[in-house]
A and B are shown apart, each in its own frame.
Chain A
Amino acid sequence: GQQLNQSPQSMFIQEGEDVSMNCTSSSIFNTWLWYKQDPGEGPVLLIALYKAGELTSNGRLTAQFGITRKDSFLNISASIPSDVGIYFCAGRNYGGSQGNLIFGKGTKLSVKP
């Protein structure tokens, strides 16, 4: 079946640092979504991407839909403590029904001790 690899699995941030994470797919997607999940809560949609090459920002967050349509990245600039959480990418492929949204396993962002 389709696979969506998200990396890194986890990372530690210091306040003020820039953060980058990415997802790659074994097949072409026509939609990429990025979510953030806080402990005990459901995932919250951050950014949605619909076209290859599309670059979209939401405050300090920037995400891009890769030209190959098989990857996407999310950058967080000047991180702050409330950025801590788990970030998920999700993709939907050509011809997929509304149900065929595939999720990565998440990138856990923690604060450096």
Chain B
Amino acid sequence: NAGVTQTPKFQVLKTGQSMTLQCAQDMNHNSMYWYRQDPGMGLRLIYYSASEGTTDKGEVPNGYNVSRLNKREFSLRLESAAPSQTSVYFCASSGSFGQYFGPGTRLTVT
């Protein structure tokens, strides 16, 4: 039982490049989330998916797109990366007792 897994763990992009962050959970949770964490800002919600086939914007959705591929997988895409998107990205899924987080992806955009 791996919980929530994310790939890659680290990534460096040049401004304008695109990439997709992958997330998968094996806890059979309906809801999944993408957050970004910046120093002094705590965790901010980018997008979430309450169930397979649905997605909704969070607090900071601009510059991102998401896909809920199936119940297990929820991916985050940066179409044209900008330095302001340098951050640590966390995926989470929600069960009865709260949200459970993956180990994070550290993204640097130069």
Contacts and interface: CB of A to CB of B under 8 A. Distances in A.
30 contacts: A31-B98, A33-B99, A40-B103, A40-B104, A41-B103, A41-B104, A42-B101, A42-B102, A42-B103, A43-B43, A43-B101, A45-B97, A45-B100, A48-B98, A88-B42, A88-B43, A90-B98, A97-B48, A98-B48, A98-B50, A99-B50, A99-B56, A101-B99, A103-B42, A103-B44, A104-B42, A105-B40, A105-B41, A105-B42, A106-B42
A105 B48 CA distance: 20
Interface of B: 4, 31, 33, 40-45, 48, 50, 56, 58, 90, 92, 94, 97-104
A104 B43 CA distance: 8
B103 A98 contact: no
A42 B90 contact: yes
Contacts of B45: 99, 101
B98 A99 contact: no
Contacts of A99: 31, 33, 45, 48, 50, 56, 58
A44 interface: yes
Contacts of B104: 40-42
Query: Which among A99, A101, A104, A105 has the highest number of chain B CB atoms within 10 Å?
Result: A99
A42 B93 CA distance: 12
Query: Which among B4, B43, B44, B102 has the highest number of chain A CB atoms within 10 Å?
Result: B43
B21 to A, nearest CB: 13
Contact of A48 (B31, B41, B56, B97): B97
Nearest to B29: A98
A88 B41 CA distance: 11
Contacts of B44: 103
Contacts of B100: 45
